[in-house]
Amino acid sequence: MQRLWLAIQRGYLRIIEPFAGWLVKVGVGPNTITTVGTLTYIVGGGLYASGHIMTAGWWLGLTAMFDVLDGKVARASGRTTVFGAFYDSTLDRVADGAVLGGLAVFFARNDVLHGVPHWAGTPMVALTILGIIGTFLTSYTRARAEALGIDAKVGMMQRPERVTLLSAPQAFFGLALGGWVLMLIVAVLSVTAWITAVQRIVYVHRVTQPIDHPEGPVDGAEVPPALAEARRGPGLPS
């Protein structure tokens, strides 16, 4: 499965390569691409909120290339900046919140839109909100770990997989089987987001054991440089 996913990613990158080259040629900045990409996610969230599930799936699937284009253009044009990385990461949270928020609105309006069984509206709102929190947690745990010098890119649900689940199944199935396909996808996203957050917490706990136990490494864990520096100082920042 992993090999299949990597093959799909490589194929996708080859497809958008000419477009990235054209954007570099005409001088479009990576931050502009990031902004436009975020706006497309907000539109997608609006489509979900209005009940156009299949249209939203296709829209997100076709515009997901902006997630990749900004980085490719930045590297190809030599315009990679620290602020650009920060800006991209920040707007990714806006995009995730817009799409999942749109789904929460859709479920909350189930008495009008009738997209899922009548009893499922409120529980799905709660599950979607949990998914939003879990998604933000996966991003925060990684960012906080990186601030300590730890690469915490671990876990079962990275952002590319999450974007795929938010678009492809809806594009092909919409509200098939009385909305059960959509509810299942939201449930999978919510559960795996929390699992990923926990996996990252456990990983950071393991690799930070040397600073909490200065007498020596625990389970062969190596001390990241930033943590080694922190050990010599007054303590970790909160």
The single residue of 92, 96, 212, 219 carrying the catalytic annotation is 92
Q: By C-alpha distance, which of 50, 64, 76, 86 is closest to 9?
A: 64
Q: What is the pLDDT of residue 19?
A: 80
92 is an active site residue: yes
Entry field: residues in the chain: 238
Q: Are 95 and 167 in contact (CB under 8 A)?
A: no
Q: By C-alpha distance, which of 101, 94, 103 is closest to 53?
A: 103
Each of the 238 residues of the chain gets a pLDDT tens digit; together they read 456 556 666 666 677 778 888 888 888 899 999 999 999 999 999 999 999 999 999 999 888 888 888 888 888 888 889 999 899 999 999 999 999 999 999 999 999 999 999 999 999 999 999 999 999 999 999 999 988 888 888 888 878 888 888 899 999 999 999 999 999 999 999 999 999 999 999 999 998 887 766 665 545 445 555 555 544 443 433 3
Domain ranges of the chain: 2-207
Q: Which CATH superfamily is domain 2-207 in?
A: CDP-alcohol phosphotransferase transmembrane (TM) domain (1.20.120.1760)
